[in-house]
Structure 1
Amino acid sequence: MPVPMPRSGEPLPDPGSVALREELLRLREEARHLRARATGRSVVAQAQGILRERYALADAESAFALLQRASQRSNVKLRILAGAVLSVPRPEERERLWFPRRVRRPEPRLTFASARDIEPGNRGHVLRAVLSQTLTVVGSGMGNVQTTDHGRGGLRMEEHIGLPQDFVDFFGHVGDDGTSCALAAHDVAPVTVPDVATHPVFTEPARQAILRAGSRACHSVPLTPAPGVCVGMVSAHFAETIREPTPAQAEALAVVGTEAGRWLSWYDRTVVLDALEYLHALARTQSGARVRRR
C-alpha cells in the first residue's frame, strides 16, 4: 500500500514502522476472522453430526444444507439454529412433529421501542433497540448487548456501538467470572462499576482491555424473563467515573431488562422452535439422500 506524501515541513515517516503497523493490522484482522469462523464452525459441526446420525443423512454436507435452508426460511442465524439442535431434547422416534404439544404464545410487546422500527420476530432489531434505549436512559454513546451462549455457556457479544474492535474481540465471549457482566449474570441483578481502574471484579487483562477502549466506568443490566433467570445482558460504558443510576434511570432500565428478557425467551420458544420444526420435517424426507446447498 503506498505511503501518503508528508506535507511541507513534516518529518518523513519511517517506512519500516508504517509497514510493520500495516502488517500488524492485517494479522489482527485475519486472526479476528479465524476466531469467529472457528467458534461458529464448532457449534455447526456438532449439529451436523447430530443431524446426520438422527436422520440417516448421506453426509455432513447434506446436514449443513438442511441447516442452511431452515436458517434462511426462518430468518434465524445459522449459529443460533445449530446451538438449538445441540441444546433442545431430540424428537421422539418416528414422531412427525418435533414439538407436538407445544403451546404458542403471542409476541411480547416492547413498550420502550417504536413498533415501526422493529419487524415482527426480528431478533437483531430488538437487540439494537435494547442497546439504543439503555444508552439513551444513561446518557452514553458506548455500550454492548450480549446473550447467553447455549453451546459454550457464558455470554456472547451480539450488538455494540462506540467500542473499538479490540474490545469486541476480547469480550466476544465471556465466561462466568472476571467481568461486571459475568457478575450481573450470576447474581441476576444490575452491577455498577464507578471506576474500572480500581474495581475488584475484573481480571487484570479484562480491566486493561476496557481502559484501552476508553471506558472508565460501566453499568450492566441483566435481561430477565423471570426472577432469577438471565438470558442476556446490556451494558453501558462511560469515559469518566460515574455514580449509581438515579431511581428514575434504574426503573427505566428495569423495564428494558424485563421486557427484553421476555421477548428473547419468547423468540427461543417460538421462532427458533419453528425453525427446528421445519428442519425436522425437511430432514425426515431426506433419509439417505444427498442434499446440496442452495
Structure 2
Amino acid sequence: MGVARAQQVLTARYRLPSERAAFELLRETSQRFNIKLHTLADVVLRTPAPDAGASLWFPRRTRHDPPPLSHLAMAGAGRTSHGAVLKGALRRVLQVAETTMGNVQLAEQGMLRMERHAGLNREFTEFFAFVRNPTTPCAQAAGRRQQITVKDVAVADAFDEESRRTILQTGSRASHSMPLTGPRGQAVGVISTHHDRPLTDFSRTRLAALEAVGAQAGRWLLWHRYTLVLDALEHLHTSAPTAR
C-alpha cells in the first residue's frame, strides 16, 4: 500500500507518464542504495516535498561519515550496509547472551517492525511482524530505553495467552530485550534474545556489553536514516525527468 501511494505522489510531483514509471524510479533507487522498496516508499510519503523547481531536495544538508562499529566487529563495505549492520548487531548480541534465537525490530510510526531474526520459526515471525502493544517487553524496552528480562515466559504477566503460546512453541522459555539508542537516548529499535530455559538476571558485565552494542547500532541506524536514506531521496529527485 505504501509503495502504491508513493507511486501516486511521484507521478503527480514530477508529472511522470505513468505510475509504472514512478515504480521504476523507486525500484532503481532502492537497488542503487540498497534500501528496501517499502522503506524508501515510506520515507517518500513522510518527508516534506522539495521546494518547487529546486535542483536539490536537501540543498543545505551536511553529510557525515558512518559512526564506528567496534562492538559489532564490522569493517569494510559492510559498514554502510543496513542489512549487514543489523546482521552483525544481532550476531554479537546472540554471542553475548549465549543463545541462538533472537530478532531485530525497528521503530516505525509508533510500532516495532520485525527486520531480522535467527532461530525463530515462521509462526513466531509472522505473529510478531508488527508489534503495536505498548505493554510487550520489547515495546517497554524501547519506551523506557532500558533492558528488560522476562525470566520465564510461561508465567510472566507481560503476555496475553496467544502471544505466550506463540513464543513457547518456538522452544523459548525466556527473553531479554535491549533498546537500540541514539546519542540523545532515543530508541530506534530493539534486539531481543530468546532462551530455551528460564533466565536469572544477567551479570553487569553482560548487560554493559549489550548496552554498548545497542548504543553503536542505534547511532548507526540514525546515521543511515539521515545520510544514506536522504542520499537515496536526493538521487530519486535528481533522476526524475522534471527535476533537472
TM-score relative to the length of structure 2: 0.95
Corresponding residue for 2:21?
Answer: 62
| 1:178–1:203 Cα contact (<8 Å) kept | no
| 1:145–1:235 Cα contact (<8 Å) kept | yes
1:55 Cα shift? 1.3
| 2:55–2:243 Cα contact (<8 Å) kept | no
- Residue number among 42, 55, 58 corresponding to 1:96 in the alignment: 55
Amino acid at match of 1:137: V
Corresponding residue for 1:107?
Answer: 66
Structure with a larger share of its residues in strand: 2
1:221 Cα shift? 0.4
| 1:57–1:286 Cα contact (<8 Å) kept | no
Per-residue CA deviations over 1:255-278 (Å, capped at 9, x if unaligned) read: 001000000000011111000000
1:65 Cα shift? 0.8
- Residue number among 163, 169, 172 corresponding to 1:212 in the alignment: 169
Per-residue CA deviations over 1:203-242 (Å, capped at 9, x if unaligned) read: 2211111011111100000100134411111011001110
Amino acid at match of 1:248: T
| Cα 1:98/1:286, change in 2 over 3 Å | closer
Q: Matches of 1:186 and 1:69 in 2, distance apart?
A: 36
- Residue number among 144, 148, 160 corresponding to 1:187 in the alignment: 144
| 2:53–2:243 Cα contact (<8 Å) kept | no
TM-score relative to the length of structure 1: 0.79
Amino acid at match of 1:231: V
For structure 2, the 5+ residue unaligned runs are: none
Q: What is the RMSD computed on CA atoms of the aligned residues?
A: 1.6
1:75 aligns with 2:34: yes
Q: Name the SS for the 2:176 alignment partner.
A: strand
Q: Name the SS for the 1:237 alignment partner.
A: strand
1:181 Cα shift? 0.6
1:77 Cα shift? 1.3
| 2:136–2:159 Cα contact (<8 Å) kept | yes
Q: Name the SS for the 1:264 alignment partner.
A: helix
1:196 aligns with 2:153: yes
Q: Name the SS for the 1:119 alignment partner.
A: helix
Corresponding residue for 2:104?
Answer: 145
Corresponding residue for 1:272?
Answer: 229
Q: Matches of 2:240 and 2:218 in 1, distance apart?
A: 32
Q: Name the SS for the 1:157 alignment partner.
A: strand
Q: Identity percentage over the alignment?
A: 43
Q: Matches of 2:189 and 2:122 in 1, distance apart?
A: 21
